[in-house]
Amino acid sequence: MADLNDLTRLSASELATKLSSGEVSSVEATQAHLDRIAAVDDKVHAFLHVSVDALANAKRIDERRAAGESLGELAGVPVAVKDVLCTIDMPTTAGSKILEGWVPPYDATPVAKLRAAGLIPLGKTNMDEFAMGSSTEHSAYGPTHNPWDLDRIPGGSGGGSAAAVSAFEAPLALGSDTGGSIRQPASVTGSVGVKPTYGGVSRYGAIALASSLDQVGPVSRTVLDSALLHDVIGGWDPRDSTSLNEQWPSFAAAARAGAAAESLKGVRVGVIKQLDSPGFQAGVSQRFHEALQLLTDFGAEIVEVDAPHFEYAVEAYYLILPAEASSNLAKFDSVRFGLRVTPEGGGTVEDVMAATREAGFGDEVKRRIILGTYALSAGYYDAYYGSAQKVRTLIQRDFAAAFEKADVLVSPSAPTTAFKLGEKLEDPMAMYLNDVTTIPANLAGIPGMGLPMGLAPEDGLPTGFQIMAPARGDARLYEVGATLERLLEQQWGHTLPSQVPSLG
């Protein structure tokens, strides 16, 4: 049984209330999470690096609060940072040997915003190398283990961030989502994660995987906590030319409105036929339909929508992503940062570059760079990359038609619960198909949220509910998500994350 005085069991919002009232100090809250990391992270391996400055930073926030300074709502709350985001005071490796020990000369914008808002970075979380994967098994530093079952994957690429929040090592984390790397880990670890509208959060200082798909977003145990974090990290950044220069509403206000809603009357919830597949795990489909019934009982109108081109989404994605990645990863050239390996007997700068990339990149990274190089080759460009970009148009049209009929679109966040470590490692295509539910939102640039919808009856593991909204409609996710979260918790009589094994 969890200790009710254990500060790590509080949501970020609850902790923030205790911090602002002075009941708890940031040093106490930070120490509690560092203690938890020390106690369980040898089993979970969510962290690649734990900050040595966290307590000093927490002390400064306590002093500023004591001095009467007006601080942000989350000031003093600890947060974990996915290792894809540059941090000036901590190594940033993106899960790769090629960047082992590299300390960036600047902070990523979302990290700079965390610091400005007074949050306390606890450390850097594990991930598939350069965010290529759905299991964290492609991390050069070993996999993260799912806190619900240590023999299973925590999802990927952001398995470290999801495992950190679900193991109560941090109340909040940052993730990045290129094809589901926030939402799929949330699904298999019973946590909440949001991929914002493309351009809603700056990508400056996020080590790029596929620039037209990548988006940084919040990871947490509650919908409100993700909203609070999204409010901190979002907004225009002149350093990211794809960042949207517009005003965003308060997502925390949207989540609070959703949690207080008395009915969903007038809300049209679209079920995407292609993502309610008989091929999904039975317990996932069962929990999904029970959640739909809950929404119906609360007044929502359920409509079925057709997205005929979604069946091409995974294929288009695995052409566009490798193509963009092969270009983005060209920067790892052994000259400006990271590893340098000189071949035996020396060689030209090109020989050194090739030897370095051979030694520094893992199998999945090599696989995708070679695939991307192939897809961009003269003669194949139109057939592969060109066709994939056309599929992207068709998927956007499917979404546009669906949003004519529905205010939000929903599906399971992932087709199955967490699979066993090692199970899909030797079959790349099987691993890729795992992303079928999450990839369409990235291709279209729209926002998506994953939140827990219960444990699958057959294996007792978490399942996730995905909500998608039109571009710029992120507030709608928080509103509907917070309503569904409340309805589910009323039914269960507890939160889902509270049911995770103690690991202690």
Partner 1 sequence: MTDTNPGAITSEVVSHLASLARIALTTDEIEKLTGELGAIVNSVAKVSEVATDDVPATSHPIPLSNVFRADVPGVTLTTEQALAGAPEHDGSRFAVSAILGEEQ
Q: List, by residue number, the catalytic residues.
A: 82, 157, 181
Cα 289 to Cα 258, 292, 293, 296, 298: the distances in Å are 21, 5, 6, 10, 14
CA 103 to chain centroid, in Å, comes to: 23
Please spell the DSSP secondary structure of 348-372, one letter per residue: -HHHHHHHHHHHHS-HHHHHHHHHH
Cβ-based nearer residue to partner 1, 62 or 474: 474
Query: What is d(CA 227, CA 244) in angstroms, rounded to the nearest whole number?
Result: 18
Q: Cβ distance 79 to 170 under 8 Å?
A: yes
Among 31, 212, 277, 499, binds partner 1 (CB under 8 A): 212
Where does this chain touch partner 1 (CB under 8 A) — which range of 3-11, 197-205, 454-462, 485-493? Answer: 197-205
* Nearer residue to partner 1 within complex by CB, 103 or 282: 103
Number of residues that bind partner 1 (CB under 8 A): 78
Applying the rule CB under 8 A, the residues between 90 and 109 that interact with partner 1 are 102-106
Nearer to partner 1, 6 or 358 (CB): 358
Closer residue to partner 1 (CB): 309 or 476? 309
Map the footprint of partner 1 across residues 437-466, applying CB under 8 A. Answer: 442-446
> Can you tell me whether residue 305 is helix, strand or coil?
strand
140-179 positions binding partner 1, by CB under 8 A: none
Q: Which is nearer to partner 1, 351 or 458 (CB)?
A: 351
Task: Report the residue number, 304 or 358, with the smaller CB distance to partner 1.
Answer: 358
| Min dist. Cβ of residue 348 to partner 1 (A) | 5
DSSP E strands, 87-138: 120-125
Q: Which helix (H) or strand (E) holds 64?
A: helix 54-66
Contact flag: residue 213 with partner 1 (CB under 8 A): yes
At 394, give phi and psi (nearest 5°). Answer: -65, -35
Note whether 425 binds partner 1 by CB under 8 A: no
Task: Count CA within 13 A, CB hemisphere, residue 375.
Answer: 25
392: contact with partner 1 by CB under 8 A: yes
Sheet holding 216-220, edge to edge: 47-50, 120-125, 78-82, 172-176, 216-220, 192-195, 448-455, 462-468, 408-412, 268-272, 301-305
Alpha-carbon distance 61 to 456, whole Å? 42
228-247: which residues touch partner 1 (CB under 8 A)? 238, 241-242, 244
Which 462-501 positions form the footprint of partner 1 (CB under 8 A)? 471
The residue from 143, 179, 199, 470 that contacts partner 1 (CB under 8 A) is 199
* 354-383 residues near partner 1, rule: CB under 8 A: 354-355, 357-358, 361, 363, 366-367, 369-371, 373-374, 377, 379-380, 382-383
Calculate the CA 16 to chain-centre distance.
22
Q: What six digits make up the tokens of 162?
A: 């999801």
The footprint of partner 1 on residues 300-359 (CB under 8 A) is 309, 312, 315-316, 318-319, 326, 330, 333-340, 342-343, 346-355, 357-358
